[in-house]
Amino acid sequence: MAGSTDFDLYRPAEEHDMLRETIRSLAEAKIAPYAAAVDEEARFPQEALDALVASDLHAVHVPEEYGGAGADALAMVIVIEEVARVCASSSLIPAVNKLGSLPVILSGSEALKKKYLGPLAKGDAMFSYALSEPDAGSDAAGMKTKAVRDGDFWVLNGVKRWITNAGVSDYYTVMAVTDPDKRSKGISAFVVEKSDEGVSFGAPEKKLGIKGSPTREVYLDNVRIPADRMIGEEGTGFATAMKTLDHTRITIAAQALGIAQGALDYAKGYVKERKQFGKPIADFQGIQFMLADMAMKLEAARQLTYAAAAKSERVDGDLTFFGAAAKCFASDAAMEITTDAVQLLGGYGYTRDYPVERMMRDAKITQIYEGTNQVQRIVMARNLP
């Protein structure tokens, strides 16, 4: 799988099919049994982390030279998709490990890569991404967090909001202003460690969905870090952040695919068992048409996402458009499919005794994070192929 680009634009190669079988078996045996409790208790899915680490599936994107599997972008999509099929919260373990570490992979020094990618590959640490702030969401360039040079150190002060897996992750890619006069070109990227003095976290957000993945503020209070923890050159942080999102928006599309597939699978089984008017409701044309539309939207989203993954692997010139399109289309489809799954279960779908209401709640965030779908449409319009 290392560095492979021998798959065509839409069809996974045999090795990807084998990977899917492996991760699906793992997800169903070691992650699915805890999904409802993780949601109900709003607790981190430690069982999922342990299972993924034991199988070296927690950060398959890390290159081989740093101890990782060196999996390609499509393999990463498949891992996230299959985990999200049973538990969306757990799928954020591999997804955010990539999001947090990709700036280091793309722009970091060789020393930085060796220092931080090795522990990530081994499962000794997790990586998060700290871009958003209370007043800088879609307008990320308007951030207020500052980094001031002090000899061989940088001193960081500010607040980051909506940080996935905050408090659990050991490492954080933090974007901070190093030259306020240059706006986006005055932003630099740094690796901050949870153990650094001055790093603390807010209370977990009380969320609609993905309750097992902690979302917290990260507080930086005179955090003094060595200058060699800067990722890339000074002033290149925002460009690195945007380049990262070109690749990782595809992982959100993958998460949306998995959530939608889980909901469709459950709904298909239910309508074959549920009887009304003397026969299974699956025999009614209205139900059949709903299922057909759900499957059609899901497959269209999957083909677009896999095409985007191929472009991510090759770093094609139209990656920005395809990354935004895959994330936008797949997340919209997931919201529609999960809502229809609830409808197909009727009153039962509205209760927490069945998983589809959780899937519907989980699907919503895929339309919001890593850039709202309104922002994705702006990105697409500016990058029409």
Q: How far apart are CA 255 and CA 248, in angstroms?
A: 11
The pLDDT value given to residue 12: 67
| pLDDT of residue 171 exceeding 70 | yes
Does 350 reside within a domain?
yes
Give the C-alpha separation, 18 to 28, whole Å: 16
Specify whether 131 is located in the same domain as 214. yes
What's residue 378's pLDDT? Answer: 98
Would you say residue 9 lies in a domain? no
Q: Are residues 246 and 352 in the same domain?
A: yes
Domain end marker among 122, 153, 188: 122
Q: Are residues 342 and 297 in the same domain?
A: yes
Statement to judge: residues 255 and 354 lie in one domain: yes
Residue 344 lies in a domain: yes
- Judge whether residue 385 has pLDDT over 90: no
Q: Measured between alpha carbons, how far is 147 from 224 in angstroms, rounded to an integer?
A: 9
* Arithmetic mean of pLDDT, 141-163: 97
Q: Do 275 and 349 fall within a single domain?
A: yes
> 291 and 192, same structural domain?
no
Per-residue pLDDT tens digits for 108-138: 999 999 999 999 999 999 999 999 999 999 9
Average pLDDT for residues 353-379, to the nearest whole number?
A: 98
- Asked if residue 4 belongs to a domain, the reply is no
Q: What is the pLDDT of residues 196-230, one digit of tens each?
A: 999 999 999 999 999 999 999 999 999 999 999 99
Q: What is the mean pLDDT of residues 286-299?
A: 98
CA–CA gap between residue 245 and residue 29 (Å, rounded): 32
User: Looking at residue 184, what DSSP letter applies?
Assistant: G
- Tokens for 150, please give them: 């002090």
Give me the mean pLDDT over the 273-294 stretch.
Answer: 98
Decide if 108 contacts 102 (C-beta within 8 A): no
Domain count, the chain: 3
Q: Exactly one of 81, 82, 313, 370 is catalytic; name it.
A: 370
Q: Is 376 among the domain residues?
A: yes
Tell me, yes or no, whether 209 and 272 share the same domain.
no
Q: Is there a domain that residue 95 lies in?
A: yes
Confidence at residue 1, expressed as pLDDT on a 0 to 100 scale: 42
- What average pLDDT does the segment 130-158 reach? 96
Shared domain check, 368 and 242:
yes
Residue 251 near residue 325, CB atoms below 8 Å: no
* CATH number of the structural domain spanning residue 70: 1.10.540.10
pLDDT of residue 295 exceeding 50: yes
Q: What percent of the chain clears pLDDT 70, i.e. is strictly above it?
A: 97
Pairing mode of beta strands 171-177, 127-130:
parallel
pLDDT at 11: 56
Residue range 59-74: average pLDDT?
97
- CATH number at 149 reads 2.40.110.10
pLDDT at residue 18 greater than cutoff 60: yes
Distances (CA, A) of 249 to 76, 164, 311, 336, 370: 12, 14, 12, 19, 6
Q: Which domain holds residue 265?
A: 238-382
Kindly state whether residues 83 and 209 are assigned to the same domain.
Answer: no
CA separation for the pair 268, 349 (Å, rounded): 13
d(CA 207, CA 361): 9
Same-domain pairing of 115 and 159: no
Query: Is pLDDT at 7 greater than 50 in this prediction?
Result: no
Total count of residues recorded for the chain: 385
**Residue 46 confidence (pLDDT) above 60:** yes
In the annotation, is 15 catalytic? no
Q: Are residues 116 and 131 in the same domain?
A: no
The tokens for 97 are 């490990």
| Average pLDDT value for the chain | 96
